[in-house]
Amino acid sequence: MALYLGFDAGTQSLSAMVIEIDGGAGADRRRTVFEHSLNFDRDFPEYGTTAGIVRGDGPHEMLASPLMWADALDRMMSILASDAGLDLGAIRAISGAAQQHGSVYLNRRAREAWRALAHDRPLVPQLAGTLARGLSPVWMDESAGEQCAAIETALGGAEATARLTGSRASARFAGPQIRKFRQTNPGGYDATTRIHLVSSFMASLLIGADATLDPGDASGMNLMDIQSSRWSEAALEATAPGLILKLPEIRPSWTIAGTLSRYWQDRYAFPPAQVVTWSGDNPSSLIGTGLVTEGHLAVSLGTSDTVFGYTREPRPGASHVFASPLGGYMNLVCFRNGSLTRDWVRRTHHLDWNGFSAALERTPAGNGGAVMLPWLEAEITPPVRFSGVRRFAYDGHDGDHDVRAVVEGQMMAMANHSAAIAGDLRSIVATGGASVNDPVLQVMADVFGAPVDRLTGENSACLGAALRALHADRLANGEPLAWPSVVKGFTDPRQEERVLPRAEAVEVYRDLRVRYAEFERLHQHRPPVA
Ligand code: XUL
């Protein structure tokens, strides 16, 4: 029997999952034996976050303390060791997923501090003085717009930047954020000896040394050559001087970054397990949703909503092409107004989630012409700077219409903007918090015109991390498992719960999607009417 531990360092919480694999590659027993989440706002109030972030001084600045993530890791390791009833010695490998794009700035003291950690003291006080920047910009930070323009100009335009790095310059990506840091705090930049992504920072804390970065997460920086999975000299030069010396090495996703450090072994009696290079939450979800072949999309309904799919070749037209942790590519479209916007509508009308579902059930496909552009916050796709929802053909007082309008608006935006990556779409896998809601999935099936499956588990990024640990451990031991065998038993859809598209509704949305795209185009660059 072997155990594999996966983490997900998300925007609002740190989760852990342990899977058990009993027997060989064939008829083995596979199950999840532990799952737990720590919520940053609730469990770490001393960091003063709201939904996992703190606002910076400038507009669109969204930050979080790396020490909060470290604190959560320490507490989770303690829970795993004492409250989970696990045979700790059976943990063979550990990996993780993290919110993408966030960058952590360390000074020259960090490496020494990690090496010298005393096991009888908590982690965070021992990291004092190791950060060259106290707060990290996270993926919700849209404040590096100017830097994006400068980088794209240096690289020959937006399209050339996308061809080289997989994405146009994006304000939330680490490259533009690094350029901004250098411009606004040159002393801080000079004092920075290492810039990690959240994923490689967390892996570094586990091994007590600088961890490598995987191509899946590195491709979310506007710094990696998407064809070769190496740092692009041109992109580095367009971003900040001397950057190459500050970045971790990029290694294949299945690389063993190191061994769990003595700190964790001595502090909580963990074994010297292998720590596999962490990845981003979306690349990890590709595995955790079982999307290891073409023709399927995953729609993840989380803090951000994302639509993604695996392809052997990059799919032009995707807003982001990332390297996939299975090899090949992951094409992704990200929407910032996800669960927080659904939740805002729900709260506005004093509904619980059952009430939200009932409202959807009471209203017809197409909502009698009532349409919402759900841009409560500045939006990533399409790029919208002026926040504020826009309502058409209704005023928002009626809760039923408002609920349907937010869900339909989100689904139409997702279907329209992912059309280029959907290809010959056979099915969708829905994940994330809101995927438990049947009426939401019915709107999804009708708008996309494809059957929607749901996974048994909720946290596909965390599951993906545990499965990546299994894959890398088998590979390192000369017993490689093909990806369909890695995910088998964990990501099989529940056929009996499949949600089928309804022909009449699909017809309604065929026209409405065209109108919705027109609304987007007209209002994207205009502030909302008060
Ligand atoms: C993807 C993105 C978000 C974060 C959320 O490009 O910005 O999905 O990864 O954690």
Closest Cα to atom 1 of ligand 1: 334
pLDDT value for 435? 86
What is the model's pLDDT at position 411? 98
Q: Give the separation between CA 36 and CA 432, rounded to whole angstroms.
A: 15
Indicate whether 144 pLDDT > 60. yes
Q: Which long-range contacts (CB under 8 A, 24 or more apart) does 364-370 make?
A: 365/443, 365/446, 365/502, 365/504, 365/505, 365/508, 365/509, 366/408, 366/505, 366/508, 366/509, 366/512, 367/394, 367/401, 367/404, 367/405, 367/408, 368/393, 368/401, 369/393, 370/394, 370/401, 370/404, 370/405
Structural tokens at position 443: 């709107």
Cα(45) to centroid(ligand 1), Å: 24
Judged against a pLDDT cut of 60, whether residue 27 lies above it is answered with no
CA of 309 to the centre of ligand 1 (A): 15
Question: What are the φ/ψ torsions at residue 336 (nearest 5 degrees)?
Answer: -75, -35
Q: Which of 26-30, 78-82, 277-281, 411-415 has the lowest mean pLDDT?
A: 26-30
* pTM, full prediction: 0.89
pLDDT of residue 24: 57
Tens of pLDDT, residues 162-213: 999 999 999 999 999 999 999 999 999 999 999 999 999 999 999 999 999 9
Which residues face 325 on adjacent strands? Answer: 327
Instruction: Name the band, by pLDDT with cuts 50, 70 and 90, for residue 494.
Output: confident
pLDDT, one tens digit per residue, over 329-383 is 999 999 999 999 999 999 999 999 999 999 999 999 999 999 999 999 999 999 9
The stretch 511-528 carries a mean pLDDT of 96
Whether 161 lines ligand 1, by a CB cut-off of 6 Å, is: no
Residue bearing the CA closest to ligand 1, atom 10: 99
Which of the pair, 314 or 398, is modelled with greater confidence?
A: 398
Report the pLDDT averaged over residues 285-297.
92
Q: How far, in Å, CA of 295 to CA of 424, rounded?
A: 6
Residue to mutate (ligand 1; options 8, 40, 100; most atoms within 8 A of CB) = 100
Note the pLDDT of residue 25.
52
pLDDT band at residue 302, thresholds of 50, 70 and 90?
confident
The mean pLDDT of the chain is 95
Check residues 79 and 295 and name the one with the higher pLDDT: 79
Q: Is the CB of 71 under 6 A from ligand 1?
A: no
- Cα distance between residue 295 and residue 331, in whole Å: 12
Enumerate the H helices of 49-117 as residue ranges: 66-82, 109-115
Count CB atoms within 10 A of the CB of residue 333: 25
Closest CA to 410 of 343, 346, 338: 338
Characterise 335 by phi-psi region: left (phi > 0), alpha (psi -120 to 50), beta (else): beta
Residue 281: CB within 6 Å of ligand 1?
yes
